[in-house]
Each structure stands twice: as structure tokens, then as C-alpha cells.
Amino acid sequence: MSFRPKTLARGLRAEGGALLPVAVLVVMAVVFVVLVGTADQSITSANGYNILQNVALYGWVALALGLTMIAGEFDLSTPAMFTLGGVVAALVGGSPAVAIGAAVAAGIVVGVVQGLLVARLDISSVAVTLAGYIVLSGVALTVSGNEITTHTNLDFGFEIDRPILEVFSVRSLVVLAGFALIGLLLRYTRIGTELRAVGNDRRAARVAGVPIARRVVLVFVLSAVGAAASGALVSYSLSTAAPNVNLEPLIFGVTAIVLGGVSVYGGKGTALGILIGVIALSLLEEGLVLLAIPDYVANIVTGGLLAVVALIAAPDLLRGGVAALRRDRHEGAAGAPVDATGATSR
């Protein structure tokens, strides 16, 4: 038998993280072309622009979630921080730099508090960030007076969405730059290695001398800042900030990062992979929009995709599969039994 399950399993585990996003992107691109083809439309630069605007919408949220997941944590508060970032920017108003700065500052505070609770008190990050989600939802509603806040500076919102080179915009370029920056951080600095170490094997990382608590706080700060800043940018783009939190950013982000090869169990993932996951999902969304597909179909497609992704990541499924494959191979490996009845030596 030329088929070697052990090699396959090891290969899947080692290379899966790198191959998955590429495969996903190819599949999505094909799906997109087919969708557009069936709709009897031609692909224009407007599609490219829309796709990149989609990337800009939740790209940083995915990046934020991905960073925490690489470090072995989970930040459920991201969608609330995203909303709050928009509300804060709209309320502060005035100079965009000040407004966005205020949103970022809010993100830093939230990230530090959540990070310290997780790292110092050793509380499950899901529990902490779930509480954070509710608190931040409340804060967003309170500071906005439960009303949609309108930006006073409408020009800025127009500026950042104006097409550049037909497909880009300032907003999408900024978001892409964020990916590049985090990508460089993960790849070329000490911090990147340490984050993956913290996520993959915390004990070993601690023994090696990685300052665990500081790294955990760092990812929560980066996560909250990423969510807040992109929420602020999006609010400029929409010229308004709605105070209600919904799970959409979280759903998009989780799907994108797992498709992008980030391990749900920490330690694996790259900024490029996350970006590819985000682009793939954005392609899908643009395709669905082009076909004027109803929302419920989009929900079913996304939900189905996420369900598949959850299964791919399920540890006991792989474990069971590998076991079954190996069993077939080693059946009957033991020969004639050794006598251990204790009867012979007398």
C-alpha cells in the first residue's frame, strides 16, 4: 500500500496551516468566477473595489481575533469593541486624528484590563471577554444615549473611501498596511515567535523565559485596538455610528481566521493566512451580492462554512481518523505469544 496514513497525518498537521488558506482562496476565486458567470455579468474593477472595501470592513477584526487565537486565547469582546470604537470616534468628532486616537485609547484601556485579568488571575479568556462584551455593549449604548451618532466631519469619510488606482481606497490601504505591520511583527521580531510559543505550549514558553503575562496583555491590547480603530474608520465611512452590537464582526472574523489556517488551539497562524481568509470571505460576499442572493442563503452559506471549519479543527475527529487508519496497517503485528502463565518454570 503506497498510502501512508502516518505521513499523511503528520503532513496535514505540519503543512495544513500553510496549505489551507491557499486552497481556500483558490476555491473561493473559482466560486466567485462561476457565480459571476452564471449571473451573466463581467468582472470589473468595481468588483475589486467592493471586495477590498469588504476586506477593510472586518479585516482588522479578523486580525485582532487571529492574534489572540495564535497566543492561545479568545477575544469575544471584539464585536462590542468594534461598535464602541465607532461610537467614541463619532462622539469625540473634531479632528479625525483626535477622534480615532480616542477610540484607540479606549481600546488600549480595555485591552490592558482584559489582558491583566486573563494573565494575572488566570481566568479563562472566554469568561473575561464575554463579560467584557456585555460591559462594552452597555458602554456603547450609554455614551451614545442609545442613538445613532452622526459624524460632523463628512469629508473625511468621503476621502478615505475615494477609489485609488480604481480598486483601492485610503481605508483599505490602511487596513492592508495594518496587516503588513502585524505580519512583520509576527515574522521578524522576537515578539512574533514568543506569541506563537505562548499559544502552542505555555509551559515550555515560560521555561524558556518568555514573559507570559506581558505577551498575553499585549495581544489583548492589539486585539482591542484593532477592533476599535477599524470600528472608528468604518463609522467615518458610513458617516454614522450605530450603538447596537451584533455578532457579525465576530462571525466574519472567526470564519476568516480558521479558513486562514490559524489553529483554534493556538500557536499557529500568520498575518498573510488571515488576510487570505479575509479576502476569500470578501470574494464570497461580493459574489453573493452580485447574484442578489437573499440574506438567508448568505447565512446558510456562511453558517455551513463555519460548521465545516469547526469540524476541521476538532481534535478528536483527526485523532479518531488517524487511529482508524493506523489500526488497519498494524493489525496482527504481534506474533506467537510469550508464555506468561507462570506454569512452565517449575
Partner 1 sequence: MDARRNPGLLVPALADGGAAAAPSRWRVSSAVTLQRGVIGAGLALLLFFALTTDGFFTVANAKAIATAASLVGLVAIGQTLIMLGGSGMSLSLGMTSAVSAMAFVGLLGEGVVIALLGALVLAAVTTGIQGFVVGRWAANAVIVTIAAGLLLEGFGSWAAGHGDLTPTVDRDVYAFLGRPLLGIPFPVYAFAVAALVVQWMLRRTRDGRTLLLVGSSREAARAAALPLTRTAVFAFSIAGVCAALTGIMVAATQHHASLSIQGNYTFDSIAATLVGGTLISGGRGSVTRTLIGALVIAAVTDIALLRGYSSGVQTLVKGLLVLVAVILVRLTARR
Partner 2 sequence: MTSSPDTTGTQAGSASSVEEGAPAVPLVEVRSASKAYGPTVALREVSLSVGAGEIHGLCGQNGAGKSTLVKVLAGLVQLDSGTVLLDGRPIELSRPLDAQHHGIALVDQELSVVPALTVEENILLGGAGRPFVRRRAADRARARELLERVGLSQLSPDARVESLSMAQRQLVEIARLLGREARLLILDEPTASLSRADSLVVFAALRELAARGHSVLYVSHRLDEVLDLCDRVTVVRDGARVADESATALEPARLIELIMGDLHRHERAANAARSAPDASDAVELVVRVAQPPRIGGVALRIRAGSIVGLAGQVGSGTSELLRALAGLEPGGTASIELPGGRVARPTSSRAAQAAGIDFVSNDRKGEGLFLERSVGENLVATRLDRISRAGIVGRRALREVAGRLSERVHVKTRGLDAGVLELSGGNQQKVFIGRCLERGSDRILLLDEPTRGVDVHGRAEIHDLVREAAGNGTTVIFASGEPDEVLDLADVVVCLHGGDVVAVRRAEEMTASDLLAETTRGRAAATEEPDGR
User: Interface with partner 1 by CB under 8 A: which range of 3-11, 160-168, 174-182, 295-303?
Assistant: 295-303
Can you tell me the distance from the alpha carbon of 251 to that of 37, in angstroms, rounded to the nearest whole number?
Answer: 28
Q: Give the HSE-up count for residue 18: Cα atoms under 13 Å, Cβ half-sphere.
A: 3
Nearest distance from residue 207's CB to partner 1, in Å? 4
- Evaluate whether 93 touches 238 at the Cβ level (below 8 Å): no
Nearer to partner 1, 95 or 189 (CB): 189
- Is 201 a binder of partner 2 (CB under 8 A)? yes
Pick what 293 binds: partner 2, partner 1, none; C-beta below 5 to 8 Å, kind-dependent: none
Q: Closest by alpha carbon to 265, among 220, 312, 313?
A: 313
- Is 121 a binder of partner 2 (CB under 8 A)? no
Can you tell me the distance from the alpha carbon of 263 to that of 257, in angstroms, rounded to the nearest whole number?
Answer: 8
Pick what 200 binds: partner 1, partner 2, none; C-beta below 5 to 8 Å, kind-dependent: partner 2
Nearest distance from residue 107's CB to partner 2, in Å? 22
How far lies 296's CA from each of 79, 236, 252, 283, in Å? 21, 28, 16, 18
Can you tell me the distance from the alpha carbon of 17 to that of 299, in angstroms, rounded to the nearest whole number?
Answer: 26
Q: Could you tell me which residues come within 8 angstroms of residue 112 by beta carbon, excluding any fewer than 6 positions away?
A: 217, 220, 221
Contacting positions for partner 1 (CB under 8 A): 74, 76, 117, 119-124, 126-128, 130-146, 203, 206-209, 212-213, 243, 247, 250-251, 254, 258, 264, 294-307, 309-311, 313-317, 320
Contacting positions for partner 2 (CB under 8 A): 10, 13-14, 188-191, 193-194, 196-197, 199-201, 203-205, 207-210, 267-268, 319-320, 322-323, 326-327, 330-331, 333-346
